[in-house]
Amino acid sequence: MIPRLRFAHLPTPIEPLPRLSAVLNGPRLLVKRDDQTGLAFGGNKTRKLEFLVAEAQAQGADTLLSAGALQSNHCRQTAAAAAKFGFNCIIVLVGQPPVQASANLLLDQLFGAEIVWAEKSRREAVLQETFEKTSAQGNKPYLVPYGGSSPTGALGYVFAMEEFVGQKVKADWIVFASSSGGTQAGLVLGTRVFGYEGKVLGISIDEPQRILQEHVAKLASETSERLGRRIKFSSDEVLVNDEYAAPGYGVLTGAEREAISLFAKYEGLLLDPVYTGRAAAGLIDLVREGFFKKDETVLFWHTGGQPALFAEKYQPELV
């Protein structure tokens, strides 16, 4: 039995996007609303944390420790899960403390997380130092991996695929934001285990195609062992498009602004500037380029992140 705490609001709904489909004059578009998973404004990390927090409890941990960017969605949901289940929480954030906390950082503080700041080049070193310091103080930290993307965390999206298949909604393609790889690894493995017959395409947010393919294949293979037998995946089985990652992580361009605007204006649906905004921009461009057939159905798997819309960094660029 795999340890799991069931606190996400599941199953998340699947909704049609008829007005956006008409505006783009492309295939039928759907969205799976993992922005509605319930924990601290929701998002894809909630599914992963159901397994990660259960593992932390099983190991007798009293502190959740993780790291991310200043406006990390992962850290926000980790801090919320720590508060919900009575853990201390320490998060290592890259950058310098701003004069005024906003968006995800503000929420981290509301959830009572201790913030440790680090230069980007020293993130991993500071994370290890913090782990050792916390242990030396007599606490029992559990290291929540970056993005929740470990074999334990990826289980969240293995079973998300089971949920999707059970909803009996036909989709030829599933398109979503891919970065640390856990979401895609889970979906890739879930496709094999639960018999989804369509294609799973990750839009890379910041990684070169080959690197992300190799990482996802390795993680999917390792995750399969948690289900009882190893399934070997090759990088060629992992579909990644990195054509939209060139601007770099967290850089808002006209493509992301347009995607955020189109989803908001035609469907009343909010995207975030970093992940879903970029993935949706890729989806929109692929539709316009005729990548998908007109008679196909394409599902955009919304992984959340909307609090970042309220980050001071992005406010002047969104209006």
93 has which bridge partners?
68, 117
- 144-171 CB burial, b ≥16 within 10 A, e <16: bbbbbbbbbbbbbbbbbbebbbeeeeeb
Phi-psi category of residue 271: left, alpha or beta, with phi > 0 → left and psi -120 to 50 → alpha: beta
Block residue for tokens 């498009």 = 241
Give, in degrees to the nearest 5, the angle at Cα 149 between 81 and 39: 25
**How many other β-carbons are positioned within 10 Å of the β-carbon of residue 3?**
16
Torsion sign (Cα): 213, 144, 81, 307: negative
CA distance linking residue 21 with residue 276, whole number of Å: 17
Given 21, 72, 178, 221, which residue is catalytic? 72
Burial class of residue 274, CB neighbours in 10 A (0-12, 13-18, 19+): buried
Specify whether 72 is catalytic: yes
Dig out the tokens for 55 from the structure: 């593992």
**Catalytic machinery residues:** 72
